[in-house]
Structure 1
Amino acid sequence: MAKILIIDDEASIRNALREILEDEKHEVKEAKNGEEGLAMLIEEDFDAAFCDIKMPKMDGMELLRKFRENGKNTQIIMLSAHGNIEIAVEATKYGAYHFLEKPPNLQQLLVTLRNALDKKDLVQENKNLKKTISKVVSQKYEIVGESEVMKQLKVEITRIAHADARVLILGPNGAGKELVARQLHEQSPRKEKPFVEVNCAAIPSELIESELFGHEKGSFTGAIKDKKGKFELADKGTLFLDEIGDMSLSAQAKVLRALQERKITKVGGDKDIEVDVRVIAATNKDLREEIHKGNFREDLFHRLGVLIIKVPSLDERKEDIPLLVNKFLNDIAEEHKTKPKHIEPQAIEFLMQLSWSGNVRELRNVVERLVIMSSDKITLQDAQKYAVFKI
């Protein structure tokens, strides 16, 4: 049984529709004009609505436009005694599920309603799935730490995430720069759009431009078909340029143009493509030193560094090690479908005394090694024996 609203200024139409719908065991409510119908749609949750186009006070098209601003998932089926293709197209453009001419054919009406209800269920399932995925992503890229420097970092992320300005993330290898980039995206208005990552250090310099901007078929040997670049794939979302300090100067020049003009050109192409992308970049290098050496463009540095976040090393926040170790123990257990291993407090204290040049990534590797190499629980002796293999 579905909850359905009939919006029509003709009582005879409302009565006829009500009789049909109640025979199908649906709950039915009525509104005699557009204003009343819009108020009911906003105040209550309906699965579907039949809405006349020509009505006093507010016509169906205006109702449709105003209701869609509300963001609800009610499927609206438009009705009109003077239907034509132009009206049907306009109604669909403003979010109507379907358009029926008055008087509607009984079979067509019921089939349309059934399909509309199926679509509503599908849309709701997709919303629920997106929420679940978003929750999983948030947990995967959770930033763990309650030290003062990490509390400050989390505050900065929350404040900066909504600004939609470009961000440059600085910090040593393994400190969690990608996690910061992910959180900036997840807490931003762009969170429903793509997060696209490019590791600038992992792509050969001769291919980086194709990777970023795409290429036309035949533009170089091996370009057997057109390809979209990362800028285009990240449109309306976030592009994360990791290890930006390793990007070639020629690619830097094109990235600078893309940031300045919000346009890109594919390799081998001559057509400008407009892109709306929030760029977040990260590096473990001192970019001012790279500028001095001639390896990095100063104008690009200023374009990227509208906002700058510095991620602390693990040695600067050793009090977070117990939290991180417990998280890694849980993560590893979940990966292997086992119970988390217990670690003795003395073992954690030993890990807190070490120097972590590889930062959080190195700590995670050591915890995984301890899980594999220890027996029932991780002891101080295990930590002393197997943590020494740190590099």
Structure 2
Amino acid sequence: MKPSILIVDDDEVMRQTLSDVLKRRGYETFSVGSGHEALATIKKNETDLILLDMRLPDIDGLEVLKKIKEFDTEIIVIIMTAYSDVQTAVSSMKSGAYDYINKPFELEELKLLIEKGLETKSLIHEVRRLHRQQNEKNLNSHIYGVSPQIHYVKELISMISKTYKTSVLIQGESGTGKELAANAIHYHSKRSDQPLMKINCSAIPDSLLESELFGYERGAFTDAKNGKKGLIELADGGTLFLDEIGDMNPFLQSKILRVLEGQTFMRVGGEKEIKVDVRIIAATNKDLEAMVREGLFRKDLYYRLKVMVVEMPPLRDRVEDILLLSNLFIEENNREYNKNIKGFSEEAKKLMIQYNWPGNVRELRNVIERAMILSDQEVIIPKYLPFELKQMEKCPNGHFEHPCLSIKDDMSLEKMEEIHLSNVLRKLEWNKSKASKVLGVSRATLRAKIKKYHLENN
């Protein structure tokens, strides 16, 4: 996207001259003749740099500068003044101006000053991005665990990280750490010093998702007053993480396929193809293979994505990691809440290990945080654990769909139906549409049976 420059000067000839010169240099320009117009313009248009005359008809240039910096501290402001006044220059620099230039000036001198200003802004952004990325690399790219399943995941990620552009599909239930795996792949690869851009495909409406991914040109739609880079363009040289790709509509699926195959795309409303170098990592908690069979997901995109597949194991299948992760979360929350909790009582440990953890690591993290907020002792005891974990004390074992809801040989058919219905609903987090499909009954029949057995979402 072209850098945008606002020219603020009450001399119309000066405005027009500067505008023509800067447009020929490839900049997008706006020009106004007063301080009020300048302040209104920066609120409506994205502005990178302002050339500000000190003497304006309505407001003093120094006052305009202060208001600009109140609105956006990152806008570069170069002061233009016809008065070689050292005091004015000092005051403007103290108020946040990048530099100043005396009128009359050589156009080449101004061009160099503009280039330096925009370069400074770009460097500030790059330093901030690298700082954020380094923090994320340190905090959110290590996968903890000693179970065989996690060892295999770590080895697989290590191998994938050595490839440069191979696309990856990460599959697993909600809360298993799919985003963590994507972070690990990116930050252990040769792309680690380049951007990692992320988007949740299920959290944004389709109409917005397209412009977020591909960007748009000025005038592409009613409110598009400026062009905007999309995440694919911003991820150039790095990685794009598409979370919940199973919720993406077929039209956008076809556009993502084109990026995967040719590393090219066009912005919304654009006519020019843009070339990028980006690795795409997609994640889903859905069965994409089944969706392909049902015609809900593109077959060609599915096979293009699953060059490498990482299966994130559910927490119930990695029992060895439950207490290890729990202790990590305890350390984290000790720092957060200024506490000194040292672990679990033996009874609490037993409950933690026996529980089925349908919400996986995310649920575990939340349970630990809740217990630590409530606890006033050195160890977490069963009293501070949620109801569903304490139900395990009354059950012979923890390896079934939900605590205490197992089917036995001496039950009536009606009782078996009630338990099976309850298990399915809980497993699907009470999504009645999904449950009716799994059970092979209509929604009306499902509602009737929920009412008949007095089942509740608790």
TM range (shorter): 0.5 to 0.7
- Secondary structure of the 1:240 match is strand
The CA deviation at 1:385 is: 4.9
User: Residue in 1 aligned with 2:385?
Assistant: 383
> Quick one: which amino acid aligns to residue 204 of structure 2?
I
User: Residue in 2 aligned with 1:247?
Assistant: 248
In 2, Cα distance between the equivalents of 1:167 and 1:132? Answer: 24
Deviations 1:42-74 (A, max 9, x none): xxxxxxxxxxxxxxxxxxxxxxxxxxxxxxxxx
User: Residue in 2 aligned with 1:217?
Assistant: 218
User: Residue in 1 aligned with 2:329?
Assistant: 328
Deviations 1:253-274 (A, max 9, x none): 1111111111110001111111
User: Residue in 2 aligned with 1:178?
Assistant: 179
In 2, Cα distance between the equivalents of 1:257 and 1:333? Answer: 48
> Quick one: which amino acid aligns to residue 382 of structure 1?
Y
The CA deviation at 1:299 is: 0.4
User: Residue in 1 aligned with 2:155?
Assistant: 155
In 2, Cα distance between the equivalents of 1:256 and 1:225? Answer: 27
> Quick one: which amino acid aligns to residue 144 of structure 1?
Y
In 1, Cα distance between the equivalents of 2:388 and 2:286? Answer: 31
> Quick one: which amino acid aligns to residue 184 of structure 1?
I
- Secondary structure of the 1:227 match is coil
In 1, Cα distance between the equivalents of 2:385 and 2:155? Answer: 34
- Secondary structure of the 1:228 match is coil
User: Residue in 1 aligned with 2:367?
Assistant: 366
In 1, Cα distance between the equivalents of 2:340 and 2:283? Answer: 36
Question: Which segments of 5 or more consecutive residues in structure 1 lack a partner in the other structure?
Answer: 1-121
Q: Are 2:117 and 1:143 equivalent residues in the alignment?
A: no
Structure 2 contact 141–187 (Cα < 8 Å) conserved:
no
- Secondary structure of the 1:280 match is strand
The CA deviation at 1:243 is: 0.4
User: Residue in 2 aligned with 1:280?
Assistant: 281
Q: Are 2:180 and 1:167 equivalent residues in the alignment?
A: no
Structure 1 contact 366–387 (Cα < 8 Å) conserved:
no
In 2, Cα distance between the equivalents of 1:205 and 1:235? Answer: 23
TM-score, scaled relative to structure 2: 0.55
Do the aligned partners of residues 385 and 295 (structure 1) sit closer, same or farther apart at CA in structure 2, a change above 3 Å counting? closer
The CA deviation at 1:130 is: 5.8
Higher mean displacement: 292-301 or 221-230? 221-230
Higher mean displacement: 139-148 or 288-297? 139-148
> Quick one: which amino acid aligns to residue 315 of structure 1?
R
Aligned 1:331-342 pairs, distance under 5 A: 331-342=332-343
Aligned 1:6-17 pairs, distance under 5 A: none
Do the aligned partners of residues 210 and 136 (structure 1) sit closer, same or farther apart at CA in structure 2, a change above 3 Å counting? closer
In the alignment of these two chains, the number of paired residues is 267
The CA deviation at 1:189 is: 0.3
Q: Are 2:330 and 1:291 equivalent residues in the alignment?
A: no
The CA deviation at 1:134 is: 3.1
Do the aligned partners of residues 301 and 144 (structure 1) sit closer, same or farther apart at CA in structure 2, a change above 3 Å counting? same
TM-score, scaled relative to structure 1: 0.64
User: Residue in 1 aligned with 2:413?
Assistant: none
Aligned 1:307-318 pairs, distance under 5 A: 307-318=308-319
Structure 1 contact 370–386 (Cα < 8 Å) conserved:
no
Structure 2 contact 176–361 (Cα < 8 Å) conserved:
yes
Do the aligned partners of residues 179 and 349 (structure 1) sit closer, same or farther apart at CA in structure 2, a change above 3 Å counting? same
> Quick one: which amino acid aligns to residue 170 of structure 1?
Q
The CA deviation at 1:146 is: 0.2
Structure 2 contact 351–389 (Cα < 8 Å) conserved:
no
The CA deviation at 1:334 is: 2.3
Deviations 1:130-179 (A, max 9, x none): 69963663333321110011111111111111112110001111000001
Kindly report structure 1 stretches of 4+ aligned residues shifted beyond 4 Å. 129-133, 384-391
Deviations 1:294-326 (A, max 9, x none): 111000011111111111001111210011101
Do the aligned partners of residues 195 and 384 (structure 1) sit closer, same or farther apart at CA in structure 2, a change above 3 Å counting? closer
